[in-house]
């Protein structure tokens, strides 16, 4: 597990939480937790003064959710789905 000093050093180099996580092999939300001591899911609500003093980012919840992937948008998946519909009378009529 990376230390707070390791995480803060990388953040201090100007890297964002996602890049630090990539380099250390951990999730961006965990980078935020290690660096700040607060969960990235927004479960704790610091005051604006505390947010500024601790150098907290405004939208930490963005670090907890994985990127949205729509596999059906890929052509190979779309062709597979179309083939399944053609092969199934109930799906064609539904």
What is the per-residue DSSP string for 46-82? --HHHHHHTT--S-GGGGTSPPP--GGGSHHHHHHHH
Q: pLDDT at position 62, please? A: 64
pTM confidence score? 0.56
Q: Where are the domains of the chain?
A: 4-68
Q: Give mean pLDDT in consecutive 10-residue pieces for the chain, a chain of 94 residues.
A: 94 92 93 84 70 67 68 80 87 70
Count of Cβ atoms closer than 10 Å to residue 59 Cβ: 8
Record the tokens describing residue 44, joined without a space.
């704790």
Tell me the three state secondary structure of residue 2. coil
């Amino acid at each position: 597990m990376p230390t707070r000093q390791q995480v803060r050093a990388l953040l201090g180099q100007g890297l964002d939480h996602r890049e630090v996580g990539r380099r250390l092999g951990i999730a961006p939300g965990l980078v935020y937790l290690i660096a700040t001591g607060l969960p990235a899911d927004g479960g704790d609500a610091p005051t604006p003064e505390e947010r500024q003093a601790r150098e907290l980012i405004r939208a930490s919840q963005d670090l907890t959710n994985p990127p949205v992937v729509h596999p059906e948008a890929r052509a190979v998946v779309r062709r597979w789905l179309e083939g399944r519909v053609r092969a199934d009378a109930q799906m064609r009529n539904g």
